Structure formats: C-alpha cells, structure tokens
Amino acid sequence: MIPFNRPILPERASELMTEAFRSGKVSGDGAFSRRCEAFLKERYGASRCLMTTSCTDALELAAILSGVGPGDEVILPSFTFVSTANAFALRGAKLVFADSLPDQPNLDPAQVEALLSPRTKVIVPVHYAGVAVDMDPIMSLAARQGAFVVEDAAQAIEATYKGRQLGLIGDLGAFSFHETKNIHCGEGGLIALRDPAFVSRAEVIREKGTNRSAFFRGEVDKYGWVDIGSSFLPSDILSAILWAQIEHLEAICQHRMALWHCYREALDPLERSGWAHLPVVPDYAGHNAHAFYLILPDESTRAHLIAHLKAREIMAVFHYQSLHRSPYFQDKHDGRSLPNSDRYSDCLLRLPLFHDLTEAEQGRVVDGVLDFFRK
C-alpha cells in the first residue's frame, strides 16, 4: 500500500534524541527546543518563537493572548480543522464562519468584510495547503475594526505572502509539526510572535501561568502563579527530532516541490479536459508543496476514485468537513449558505505526498488517477 503519508525519520534523529537524554534534561524548554526556536525566530524575523505541544495548543495560547471572550466574535473559515475553531470556542467567543473562494479553499476576504461587526475581535486566516490567504485586505479590515489577526499557519512552514513568511504577517501565528507536515516531531507546534508586547505574557501562559521562565533567567528570585495558563511545552526529545529535520529544511522543501510539480505536470490533462481542477497558487503566494489535491465534479466521483485507488493499494483521502454543518455547530450556525466550503468538503481529494515518496510510487499514483478517468 502506498500510504497517504509516511513520516520523515532522519538517521540523525536517533543521535540527537540520545544527546538530549544524556544532557540530563528531556522535559520542555530544553536545549533543542531553544535551538529550534532561535533558528525560526532568526529565519522569519519574529520577536519570539515558542515551541508548543501542538498547533492546537499554539492556537489556544494565541486565543488567550488576543483577550477574546464572551460577547466577542471571531471570523474564520468553515473549511478548516476543528482546532482552529475550538481555540476560540473555549474562550466563550461566538464563531462566525466565512466561505472559501470559488477557485481555492482559502478564506474569501470579501466574505470577511461582509461579516465584520462592532463585536469582531479576531480574524483567523487559515493558509490551506501552504498557499497564502490574500493577507493585505485581511490586515486592512482588521486595522479598520481594531481586531487581532491570528494566522493558522499549521501547513505553512516556509510558505510566503509577497515574500513574507506566513504566520508572521498577523499579530500571532500558529504552526504545526504533526507527522503529516513538511517537517515534524510526531506531535508538536509553535507560536510565532511578531509584536514584542506579547512575549512576556506568552511565556507565562505557556508555563502554566507562572513566571518560571523569568526565574530561570534570574529576573525574579522565585516564581509563582501570575496569570492563567496551561502546560504547553513539548519534551526536548520531540524538539531533537524536529531539529534533525530543520538541519535539512531547504533540501526537504526542494524535494517536496519537485514532487508537487511532477503531479501538476502529469495530471494537467485532467484540468484541460474538464475532469478535475488542480490546485490554484495566486501570484502573491509562495507555497511550500504541503499538499497536492484534486477538486472533483461531485462527491460520488470522489468516492469512486478513492475506491479505485484503494483497489490499486493507493491511499488517497478527503479533508475537512465544513464546520458550520458539523454535528456540534449546525444548530448554532446563523443559516447562511457557504457553498464553496461545502464543495471542497464534498469534492476535494488529496493524493499521497511525502518526502520519501519514490518516483515509482508517484508514477503508480498518477497512472491510477489517469486510468480512472480514461474508463
């Protein structure tokens, strides 16, 4: 079976994990965590980067930093993972779901503008498949409203908007290092802080609401409970696994891009024939080849293609289900139709794309897809 994803495991990872063990500190905020944070801070021009146990935790930390609460509204896409919504629902905010663009799954800025209200506190663009949301209008709308922008950059490591790293354009950015991402540590994440005003409180929230980080830097003589917070620090063992991939970050990205373009070229006949739509990458977006997907004519075609590929021992999968029509939220939704989000929920199919995908395996995937449409 060709899986949908196969996690990267560099040979050096075992060596670095052993090094972390021998250091005598394998809990959070260790040497490898700080190494990862310092590298990404410097590379992306952040005021501070903080490792977290997941992108979910990074989003929850960002929600606390934004000060959102009951009575506030948060505008976010319906076509996203539940963590994007949960982070703000947990703070008691009202979720206002916006539709995607007609030609790509990203948030439609015109929809955001139509949904702004005096209660809008946060706007959450999600950069689907590492392709940038059009951020200039989002930032303008946020400035007009006095709202925070929290970027869900879970899939966007090394992806840019007009040359700027995603996750560092809004006020706060959340990244994922889940095993399905371009680089990973199994389960992990990171919050990127553009504004230095957030740094001190973010450290406190991440450390269970204590000023423990300041204590270890010798800035206070003891630490205690000074704010709300939770335990958001990942083990240094996980950060060692991540660092083993950061050492080869550019090579990993280049290889994924080669795989992405191979799919694009080989499957272009489907688009020219009108059988499927391929990913759209706007001029303003420098994507990172996180995912390659097809937009099929309908849900039935997708189901049959999935079965066809599975019979050939190829795992292809659909993605998010529209959150506005989810079992939890459908009776809380205001009734607006979000047709583009629903179309991607019903018709989008992701093909296997991972670092160790071989030329022969990718050829099998391409042949399987083309053969389905020939029949």
Q: What is the pLDDT of residues 349-361, one digit of tens each?
A: 999 999 999 999 9
The alpha carbons of the chain give a radius of gyration, in whole angstroms, of: 21
Task: Report how far residue 109's alpha carbon sits from residue 288's, in angstroms, rounded to the nearest whole number.
Answer: 22
Segment 209-234 shows an average pLDDT of 92
CATH 3.90.1150.10 location in the chain: 249-374
Name the percent of the chain lying above pLDDT 70. Answer: 100
pLDDT of residue 140: 98
Nearest CA to 99 out of 324, 361, 340, 373 is that of 340
**Vertex 214: Cα angle to 212 and 219 (nearest 5):** 135
> In 3D, which of 66, 2, 4, 8 has the Cα closest to residue 242?
8
Dist. CA 371–CA 335, nearest whole Å:
40
Q: What is the 3-state secondary structure (H, E, C) of 241-280?
A: HHHHHHCCHHHHHHHHHHHHHHHHHHCHHHHHCCCCECCC
Q: How long is the chain?
A: 375
Q: What angle do CA 302, 307, 311 make, to 5 degrees?
A: 150
Q: Once rounded to an integer, what is the mean pLDDT over residues 246-267?
A: 97
- The topology under which CATH files domain 249-374 is Aspartate Aminotransferase, domain 1 (3.90.1150)
Instruction: Indicate where the chain has its CATH 3.40.640.10 domain(s).
Output: 11-246
Q: Say what angle helices 359-374 and 299-311 make with each other, to 10 degrees.
A: 130
| pLDDT reading at 218 higher than 90 | no
The DSSP annotation for 302-337 comes to HHHHHHHHHHTTB--B--PPPGGGSTTTTTTS----
31-35, 105-109, 112-116, 218-222: least confidently modelled range: 218-222
When pLDDT is cut at 50, 70 and 90, the band that residue 147 belongs to is very high
Cα-flanking dihedrals φ and ψ of residue 222, to 5°?
-160, 160
Whose tokens are 């994803």? That residue is: 5
Q: What is the mean pLDDT of residues 196-207?
A: 96
Name, in order, each residue with C-beta under 8 angstroms of 321's C-beta and a sequence gap of 6 or more: 345
Report pTM.
0.97
Which tokens belong to 300? Answer: 């039935």
Q: Please check whether the domain covering 11-246 is classified as CATH 3.30.910.10.
A: no
Instruction: State the pLDDT confidence band at 266, using cuts at 50, 70 and 90.
Output: very high
Query: What are the CA-CA distances from residue 246 to residues 12, 28, 41, 227 (Å)?
Result: 11, 18, 13, 33
